[in-house]
Amino acid sequence: MTTPSADPWFQPLFADRIGGAGYGKGTEIYKFEKIKRAKRAALREHPERRLLDFGIGENDDMADSLVREVAKHELDKLENCGYADNGIAAFKEAAAAFMKRTFGVSLDPATEINHAIGSKPALAMMPAVFINPGDVTLMTVPGYPVAGTHTKYYGGEVYNLPLREEYGFFPNLASVPADVRRRAKLLVINYPNSPTGAVATRDFYRQVIDFAHTNHVVVVQDAAHILLSYDGPPLSFLQVDGAREVGVEVHSMSKGFNMIGWRMAFVAGHPRIVQAFADVKDNCDSGQFMAIQQAARRN
């Protein structure tokens, strides 16, 4: 037995990637948990005030009524109760139809699309596809940290690309040192960008594609907020010539379809990258509940 203040016997066994023997003793926490704690504290200390939440960006509306009704109906079907593995064909086909309808992008649902249990796991798994010890992931900051965290888990390094106003809140790709470019395997971008609100242009995406070709870097474009585009029609990375040759785009059902908590997303783009992602995913989860996939495809 141990006293409450003593370390458990397995304390030295924690992996170095999460802090090793020092795990649980530091003050560093996941940044979105930090935001949630601050929200809870503010509400507790000032219950009389209305909280204007500019934090994690959770939707405050319900999914479409048709989607909810389909989910209820599909819940009672025995055929939806098995393992979905890498996704049902109906959802992939609906995702392909969405890409064609919204962006004019034609994708093969069988080879160029794979579902994910939210975009967060997709971004977390992508480093497992490419990153070995010593490899580099290029990431825009501020931004979503998950791909960088998992890059470090696999012994890789993260090189931050600051988003500054003088560059229109786009990364200055020309500033990446030559030795970093040589070791870089992934470039993770996010447009429309959170939290700056910057929206990608075709010219920017062409720069990204040229950079990827020149430096043999795979692009992962996080399109979680793509439907929240107001100055013009939403622009997909895959709409730009050459994009499919260098990477993938990750789409989420959360923000644009009010399906936060339903955990539905898809990865689309180069078939070899999509397949590699699916192989890693096969060893991480058994797919999203098929009733949710059936409901999501009705959007």
- Calculate what percentage of the chain has a pLDDT beyond 70: 95
Verify that 200 and 89 share a domain, yes or no: yes
| Residue 59: Cβ-neighbour burial (10 angstroms; 0-12, 13-18, 19+) | middle
Whether 165 has a pLDDT exceeding 90, the answer reads yes
Mean pLDDT calculated for residue range 35-59: 77
Verify that 38 and 116 share a domain, yes or no: no
Mean pLDDT calculated for residue range 213-236: 95
- Report which secondary-structure segment, H or E, holds 136: strand 136-141
| Residue 45: Cβ-neighbour burial (10 angstroms; 0-12, 13-18, 19+) | exposed
What is the torsional sign of CA 64, 66, 69, 71? Answer: negative
CB-facing half-sphere around the CA of 290: CA atoms within 13 A: 16
Q: Report yes or no: 71 and 292 within 8 Å, Cβ to Cβ.
A: yes
Q: Report yes or no: 158 and 136 within 8 Å, Cβ to Cβ.
A: yes
Phi/psi region, residue 252 (left: phi>0; alpha: psi -120 to 50; beta: rest), is beta
Verify that 111 and 80 share a domain, yes or no: yes
The rounded distance, in Å, linking the Cα atoms of 19 and 15 is 7
Verify that 292 and 240 share a domain, yes or no: yes
Higher per-residue confidence, 52 vs 195: 195
Whether 4 has a pLDDT exceeding 90, the answer reads no
Please report the pLDDT score of residue 2 as a whole number.
47
Mean pLDDT calculated for residue range 155-175: 97
The rounded distance, in Å, linking the Cα atoms of 121 and 110 is 20
Please report the pLDDT score of residue 297 as a whole number.
94
Verify that 8 and 126 share a domain, yes or no: no
Verify that 238 and 124 share a domain, yes or no: yes
Whether 61 has a pLDDT exceeding 60, the answer reads yes
Whether 256 has a pLDDT exceeding 50, the answer reads yes
Total domain count, the chain: 2
Verify that 77 and 45 share a domain, yes or no: no
Mean pLDDT calculated for residue range 110-128: 97
Please report the pLDDT score of residue 164 as a whole number.
96
Q: Kindly give the interhelix angle for 146-153 and 119-130, rounded to the nearest 10 degrees.
A: 30
State the CATH number of the domain containing residue 281: 3.40.640.10
The rounded distance, in Å, linking the Cα atoms of 196 and 72 is 37
- Calculate what percentage of the chain has a pLDDT beyond 90: 79
In 194-267, which ranges are continuous DSSP H helix?
A: 202-215, 243-246, 254-257
Verify that 139 and 237 share a domain, yes or no: yes
Whether 44 has a pLDDT exceeding 70, the answer reads yes
Q: How far is CA 140 from CA 80, 243, 245, in A?
A: 39, 18, 21
The rounded distance, in Å, linking the Cα atoms of 286 and 253 is 19
Mean pLDDT calculated for residue range 217-243: 95
Residue 26 domain boundaries: 1-56
Mean pLDDT calculated for residue range 249-263: 93
Whether 259 has a pLDDT exceeding 80, the answer reads yes
Please report the pLDDT score of residue 207 as a whole number.
98
Residue 73: pLDDT band with limits 50, 70, 90: very high
The rounded distance, in Å, linking the Cα atoms of 236 and 251 is 10
Q: Which of 35, 56, 77 is the last residue of a domain?
A: 56
Counting other chains too, the contacts that 54-62 makes at CB distance below 8 Å and 24 or more residues apart are 56/32, 57/194, 57/255, 58/260, 59/254, 59/255, 59/258, 59/260, 61/258, 62/258
Nearest CA-CA partner of 133 in 113, 117, 157, 169: 157
Verify that 189 and 71 share a domain, yes or no: yes
Verify that 71 and 210 share a domain, yes or no: yes
Neighbours of 263 (CB within 10 A): 19
The least confident of 30-44, 200-214, 282-296 is 30-44
Please report the pLDDT score of residue 26 as a whole number.
76
The rounded distance, in Å, linking the Cα atoms of 279 and 212 is 23
DSSP-derived pairing of the beta strands 247-252 and 265-269: antiparallel
Please report the pLDDT score of residue 24 as a whole number.
86
Whether 102 has a pLDDT exceeding 60, the answer reads yes
Mean pLDDT of the chain: 92
Whether 32 has a pLDDT exceeding 80, the answer reads no
